[in-house]
Amino acid sequence: MSDICYGNLALDKIVKWEGPMKRGDYQEARVTYLYEIDDLAGWARKSEIQTAFPQVGKIIEGTEKKEQKHQVKLTSLGWEAKGLD
């Protein structure tokens, strides 16, 4: 199954930074943040779309309100999100 594109999630602000913590050969931290959606497609706000794709509605509703958490890993290029390839 493919994802549909209805906008681009972007960092709004970092709420909390925990770490860094040593994990074997590298360091990681936990980042709590708020996000916004750039270029949100108008059709994504329609109730029939949000009924068919409930996760889209949840993500749109959480914009700049729901704190999200993600692990980041320190690399030679700087901090990178873990688990995103």
pLDDT per position as a tens digit, 7-56: 998 999 999 999 999 988 889 999 999 999 999 999 999 999 999 989 88
Region 57-78: mean pLDDT is 90
**Res. 2 pLDDT band, cuts 50 70 90:** low
Q: Are 70 and 35 in contact (CB under 8 A)?
A: no
Choice between 38 and 64, residue whose per-residue pLDDT is larger: 38
CB-count burial class (<10 Å; 0-12, 13-18, 19+) for 43: exposed
Name the H helices within 13-53: 47-52
> In this structure, what token pair is assigned to residue 47?
């109730």
Question: What is the pLDDT, as a whole number, of residue 3?
Answer: 73
